[in-house]
DNA sequence: GTACGTATACTCGCCTGCAAGTAATCGCGA
DNA sequence: TCGCGATTACTTGCAGGCGAGTATACGTAC
């Protein structure tokens, strides 16, 4: 049985209202102000749906609703005990388990053969640039927040570590491509120059097949 | 303007029908047989929606539709030139760009402070076990397919490399927790033992805030 | 003082994603 | 030979996600 409110935005909401009661817009600004928007894109449409669902399942409840002048009414929510429990349990689950994820880059790599090798190499080079920029930006962030307890910055450290590995791996692949040491490079190039479809590909389709899902 | 058919399942479909015309169910089995299900969970409901959308946007087209006996009719699709172009362009984009992603573990880490340190450590230990299993499974897979050209296995190599980095990082964090060298550990433990809410947390809320989105 | 941009605070409604249902056929065990 | 579980092949329906819209108030520059 999955979480009653599965959207990860709900986790961010719980993690915010646990601090003090707030109304949705305030939650959003809070999330936004703090780089939480980096952990979890804030979709305005989703926010209100998620908050409503959290309330429906009694993870949060209405404290009161004020109105300042003729502005739209602000409904203030507070976390419940069930909500606090959900927040902890969910966090625990996210940390403890590693269900298979499907990053976009992995999808791209799995289709790499549709690009001619030159183009693939160019794309990888572009990616390296982007990765470098992202790394620089995050390092700057860490430096800037040297006074914030590390506990609140672990996700950033994690991302840096993982991205560094990605950079290393991509550089390795790229090197194999540019030095022509990647096995099968010639064949790969050939069937892009001549016919569209890989001969190996077909063979692979039949044979290489049946790799079972690793249940990761 | 985003892709006309944004679901990544559509990429897998294109990558499959590019080989030869097929009907949806066949595509699914194909994807499933090959560990493609590992790259992209196959949701049966989505498959037909995605195929219909691909057809609507003329990335694929109906070749013919057969019927064997009174079985439901099988509609066979073939890729179009536009579809082939889309497949290449999309793959290129996926490889070349690295928009911010939001892995579940990152979300969990960003909420780590809601767990008492002991529980956090336990969760991390669990994760390490799972990661080890996943790694073993994938290594076995690679060994088993030693005859398949590497080009078709790069995604697996990538995942292995990245997961290894994750393991290292998690082990590091765990070590800091178990050897009590993680800065602020005492404080962290204290406010879980006493009051619920972190004092630092509140301070962080006000001050530590304003980390801008790194546009990764 | 008034016009225009920006911040506040949501609501609406489409469309996608997908779990579950449907229904025929095949295989095979007893 | 006849039942029944698996396989084949889709369809339906609904909920959740989210872009786009709405409407007021505030600041500030001219």
Note the pLDDT tens digit of each residue in B134-155.
999 999 989 988 888 999 999 9
Block residue for tokens 């404080």 = B187
Q: Is A141 within a domain?
A: yes
Phi-psi region of A125 (alpha: psi -120 to 50; beta: other; left: phi over 0): alpha
The rounded mean pLDDT for chain B is 87
Q: Do A157 and B151 touch (CB under 8 A)?
A: no
pLDDT value of position B206: 47
Give the end-to-end CA distance of chain A in Å, rounded to a whole number.
20
Closest CA to B204 of A18, A143, A34: A34
Nearest residue in A to B103, CA atom: A101
Q: Is A37 within a domain?
A: yes
Q: From the candidates A11, A98, A177, which should be mutated to test the interface with B, based on the most B CB atoms within 10 A? A: A98
CA distance A111 to chain B (A): 6
* One domain for residues B75 and B36: yes
Q: From chain B, pick out residues whose CB is under 8 angstroms from the CB of A207.
A: 148
Give the nearest nucleotide to B6, CA to C1': C16
Query: How many Cβ contacts (< 8 angstroms) between chains A and B?
Result: 305
Which of the residue ranges A19-28, A138-147, A206-215 would you say has the lowest mean pLDDT?
A206-215
* One domain for residues A155 and A112: yes
Residue ranges of alpha helices (H) inside B19-77 are 24-33, 36-39, 44-56
* One domain for residues A119 and A66: no
pLDDT(B197) > 70: no
Q: Do A109 and B15 touch (CB under 8 A)?
A: no
| Structure tokens belonging to residue B154 | 């790069």
Q: Is A195 within a domain?
A: no
- Any B CB within 8 A of A142 CB: no
pLDDT value of position B210: 41
| Alpha-carbon distance values, A187 to A200, B90, B142 (Å) | 9, 23, 21
pLDDT in tens, B73-87: 789 999 999 999 999
pLDDT(B71) > 70: no
Q: Is B188 within a domain?
A: no
Q: In the listed set A96, A130, A155, which residue is the last one of a domain according to the structure? A: A96
- Any B CB within 8 A of A11 CB: yes
Confidence of residue B11 (pLDDT cuts 50, 70, 90): very high
> Residues 6 or more apart from B155 whose CB is under 8 A from it?
A106, A109, A110, B39
Q: What is the C-alpha to C-alpha distance for residues B17 and A165, in angstroms, rounded to an integer?
A: 33
Q: From chain B, pick out residues whose CB is under 8 angstroms from the CB of A87.
A: 111, 114
Answering whether pTM is above 0.85, one says: yes
Q: Is A214 within a domain?
A: no
Q: In the listed set A42, A77, A96, which residue is the last one of a domain according to the structure? A: A96
Q: Do B11 and A111 touch (CB under 8 A)?
A: yes
* One domain for residues B76 and B142: no
Q: Is B21 within a domain?
A: yes
pLDDT in tens, A85-113: 999 999 999 999 999 999 999 999 999 99
Confidence of residue B107 (pLDDT cuts 50, 70, 90): very high
pLDDT(A185) > 70: yes
| Structure tokens belonging to residue A49 | 């749906």
Strand C bases with any atom < 7 A from protein Cβ: 8-13, 16-21, 23-26
Question: Which structural domain, as residue segments, surrounds residue A149?
Answer: 104-182
Give how far the C-alpha of residue A143 lies from the chain's centroid of Cα atoms, to the nearest Å.
23
pLDDT(B132) > 60: yes
Mean pLDDT of the region B15-43: 82
* One domain for residues B138 and B91: no
Mean pLDDT of the region A60-64: 90
* One domain for residues B35 and B115: no
DSSP A149: -
* One domain for residues A174 and A115: yes
Which of the residue ranges A54-63, A126-135, B32-41, B49-58 would you say has the lowest mean pLDDT?
B32-41
* One domain for residues B71 and B21: yes
Q: Do B99 and A100 touch (CB under 8 A)?
A: no
**C-beta separation of A43 from A9 below 8 A:** yes
Q: Is A213 within a domain?
A: no
Residue B77: φ, ψ to 5°: -110, 155
The rounded mean pLDDT for chain A is 87
pLDDT value of position B207: 42
Q: Is B118 within a domain?
A: yes
Q: In the listed set A66, A96, A126, which residue is the last one of a domain according to the structure? A: A96
- Any A CB within 8 A of B128 CB: no
* One domain for residues A85 and A14: yes
* One domain for residues A91 and A122: no
Residues 178-207 of A with CB under 8 A from B: 182-184, 187-188, 196-197, 200-202, 204-205, 207
* One domain for residues A91 and A129: no
Phi-psi region of B58 (alpha: psi -120 to 50; beta: other; left: phi over 0): left
The spacing between the Cα labelled CA in B103 and the C1' in D24, in angstroms, equals 38
Any strand D atom closer than 7 Å to B45 CB: yes
* One domain for residues A78 and A36: yes
CA distance B22 to chain A (A): 13
Report angle CA A170, A176, A180 to the nearest 5 degrees.
150
Any strand D atom closer than 7 Å to A3 CB: no
**C-beta separation of A47 from A27 below 8 A:** yes
Structural Rg of chain B based on CA atoms:
24
What's the domain count of chain B? 2
Helices and strands in chain B: count of H runs, count of E runs: 10, 2
């Amino acid at each position: 049985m999955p979480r009653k409110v599965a959207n990860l935005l709900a986790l961010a909401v719980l993690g915010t209202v646990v601090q003090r009661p707030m109304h949705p817009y305030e939650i959003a600004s809070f999330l936004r102000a703090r780089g939480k928007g980096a952990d979890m894109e804030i979709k305005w449409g989703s926010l209100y749906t998620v908050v409503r669902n959290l309330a429906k399942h009694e993870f949060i409840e209405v404290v009161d609703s004020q109105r300042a002048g003729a502005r739209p009414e602000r409904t203030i929510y507070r976390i419940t005990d069930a909500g606090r429990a959900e927040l902890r349990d969910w966090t625990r689950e996210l940390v403890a388990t590693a269900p298979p994820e499907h990053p976009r880059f992995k999808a791209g790599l799995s289709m790499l053969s549709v690009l001619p090798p030159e183009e693939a190499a160019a794309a990888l080079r572009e990616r390296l640039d982007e990765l470098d920029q992202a790394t620089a930006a995050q390092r700057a962030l860490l430096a800037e927040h040297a006074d914030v307890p590390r506990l609140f910055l672990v996700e950033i450290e994690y991302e840096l570590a993982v991205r560094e590995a990605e950079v290393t791996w991509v550089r390795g692949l790229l090197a194999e491509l540019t030095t022509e040491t990647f096995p099968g490079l010639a064949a790969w190039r050939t069937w892009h120059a001549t016919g569209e479809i890989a001969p190996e590909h077909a063979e692979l389709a039949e044979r290489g097949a049946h790799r079972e899902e690793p249940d990761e």
